[in-house]
Amino acid sequence: MRLVLVPTPIGNLEDITLRAIRTLREAEVVACEDTRRTGVLLKHLGLSKPLVRLDQHTVGNAKRLLEGYEQVAYVTDAGTPGISDPGAELVALALKEGWQVEVLPGPTALIPALVASGLPTARFTFEGFLPQKRSERRERLEQVAVGRTVVLYEAPHRLQETLLDLLQVYGPEHPVAIAREISKLHEEFWRGRLGDAREHFKEPRGEFVLVLGPKMPQAEGPKPRAEDLLALLKERGLKGKELVKALTEAGVPRNQAYALAHLPEAPKNR
């Protein structure tokens, strides 16, 4: 069997390549994450092909689902398959089964965001989506932050929380570029300081790519004050033991963290 991973537009439909169109035309079947979404794309291209659903829940059954086909094209919802989607698992399974695997070059959100950021591109780390648990997310950021540009994907409902984590690791003065809805109608590139990013994206919409400049081994400037960290963590809803733990993890001495966490709330103006 010959399996070809075909990149599809992440926004503007003109981004698809002539080679990708030819590959889809020649395929016996198109495997995809979402048959409805892919059906719309094929209709736009004037193509009619059998569609087989292969998403994160069904990719393990690829061998059975694709039996009888010799020429298979695989597409994800958008972009190049294999990056933060089931494509990577499909390739591993295909190689194990001895299938011929080919990957076409094409659209991705990663490279346009990195290049347009204006930040160093010679050495960078792509982390995709960070872990959902705060402690794991913080640990991952600490591991990758030093010495290279870091590129992240993020969903709108988690953007504000991720920016808070980044503030703790990098500090408010650190340079960041945030790309939103790349190649779509409302594409936006924002460049500035981490300390200003949350204010700019108060009501996040669309898909985001975050590009952070390299963090130097030595502190780039004064560390955030303990009181500033306290305000950020309280904004996230942390209190009691969780708040003390988060402050100590950020480098605040335990006695000071305990005292800060138990400060009485200031009376609200009426």
Average pLDDT over residues 179-203: 94
| Domain match, 208 and 126 both | yes
| Domain match, 204 and 246 both | no
Question: Which domain does 237 fall in, by range?
Answer: 226-261
The domain tally of the chain equals: 3
| Domain match, 95 and 54 both | yes
For residue 114, the domain's CATH number is 3.30.950.10
| Residue 41 within any structural domain of the chain | yes
Domain boundary among 48, 70, 103: 103
| Domain match, 208 and 114 both | yes
| b/e map 161-175, b = 16+ CB within 10 Å | bbbbbbbbbbbbebb
Secondary structure of 225-260 in HEC code, one letter for each residue? CHHHHHHHHHHCCCCHHHHHHHHHHCCCCHHHHHHH
**CB under 8 Å to 103, separation ≥6 — which residues?**
4, 5, 80, 81, 82, 91
Instruction: Please say if the pLDDT value at position 104 is more than 90.
Output: yes
Domain boundary among 85, 103, 121: 103
Contact, 104 vs 128, CB < 8 A?
no
Side by side, the strands of the sheet bearing 175-180 are 124-129, 149-154, 208-212, 175-180, 188-193
Angle between helices 226-235 and 240-249 (to 10 degrees): 130
Q: What share of the chain is helix, strand, coil (3-state, %, to 5)?
A: 40, 20, 40
**How far apart are alpha carbons 182 and 153 in whole angstroms?**
12
Q: Which residue type is seen at 38? A: T
Contact, 78 vs 15, CB < 8 A?
no
Instruction: Specify the pLDDT at position 230.
Output: 80
| Domain match, 116 and 206 both | yes
| Residue 219 within any structural domain of the chain | no
For 210-266, write each residue's pLDDT tens digit.
999 998 765 445 556 777 778 877 777 778 888 887 777 666 788 888 888 887 765
| Residue 267 within any structural domain of the chain | no
Instruction: Please say if the pLDDT value at position 102 is more than 70.
Output: yes
Instruction: Specify the pLDDT at position 237.
Output: 76
Instruction: Please say if the pLDDT value at position 270 is more than 50.
Output: no
Report residue 193 as tokens: 């300081």
For 60-98, write each residue's pLDDT tens digit.
999 999 988 999 999 999 999 998 899 999 999 999 999
| Domain match, 95 and 7 both | yes
Contact, 234 vs 240, CB < 8 A?
no
Of 232, 194, 189, which is closest to residue 212 (Cα–Cα)? 194
Average pLDDT over residues 190-216: 93
Strands (E), 79-174: 100-103, 124-129, 149-154
| Domain match, 117 and 89 both | no
Lowest average pLDDT, out of 82-96, 103-117, 136-150, 220-234, goes to 220-234
Residues in the chain: 270
| Domain match, 90 and 23 both | yes
| Residue 268 within any structural domain of the chain | no
Q: Cα separations (Å) of 102 from 2, 76, 199?
A: 8, 15, 44
Instruction: Specify the pLDDT at position 108.
Output: 93
Domain boundary among 103, 128, 144: 103
* Distance, C-alpha 88 to centroid of its chain: 15
Mean pLDDT of the chain: 89
| Residue 141 within any structural domain of the chain | yes
pLDDT: which is higher, 165 or 23: 23
Instruction: Specify the pLDDT at position 13.
Output: 92
Instruction: Specify the pLDDT at position 265.
Output: 64
